[in-house]
Structure formats: structure tokens, C-alpha cells
Amino acid sequence: MLHYTCDACGVRLDEQRYVVKVEVAPAIDPEIISEADLDADHLEQIAEILAAGDDIIAEEDRQGFRYDLCPKCRDKYCRDPLGKNSWRQLKFSEN
């Protein structure tokens, strides 16, 4: 039998758990479209792109993460997914 624990707080998860999946990949911005682009027949290029699927972005440029969360940590994550508020709460001593 599989046992899950919350990846944030370590509490053992019973039936109610949440899964967070994060994928990091380079952003691909569309190019500027000209009149010539609109007039050309791009059927072959479209077929190549569809055949390539997700291979357009190299696998080494992608990184994925998966976390199991308890309801309490899920609520915290949804309120502050990047953890910005956590960093503000840190107080460093002056040396």
C-alpha cells in the first residue's frame, strides 16, 4: 500500500491530498507576422510543427516538479505560489 506525506510540512496524507505540478520551460514568443507570411501557404510547416509536438523545446531546457500537499499547505501554496511572502517574514540579524 502506498503512503503519501505532504512535501511541504511532512504530515502523513490520508485520502485527501493535492498534487501540484510545475513545469519550467523557455518562453517562446511569436514572431512578427508580415503580409508575405499571410499570403504564403504554410501547410508543410504546420505539419512539421505538429509532428514535432513538444519536441520543439529541448528536453534539457525543461524541468518539471511534482509535489503532494495536505489541505492546509495547499491553501498556503495557492495564496502565495512563489513564496514571496515567506521571504518578507525572514528577519536577519545585523552582524
Q: For strands 18-24 and 63-69, give the pairing.
A: antiparallel
> What pLDDT, in 10s, does the model give residues 21-45?
999 988 877 777 777 777 777 788 7
* Of 12-16, 84-88, 89-93, highest mean pLDDT: 12-16
Measured CA angle at 85 (ends 80, 87), to 5 deg: 125
pTM metric for this prediction: 0.60
Residue 72 near residue 9 (C-beta atoms within 8 A): yes
SS3 12: strand
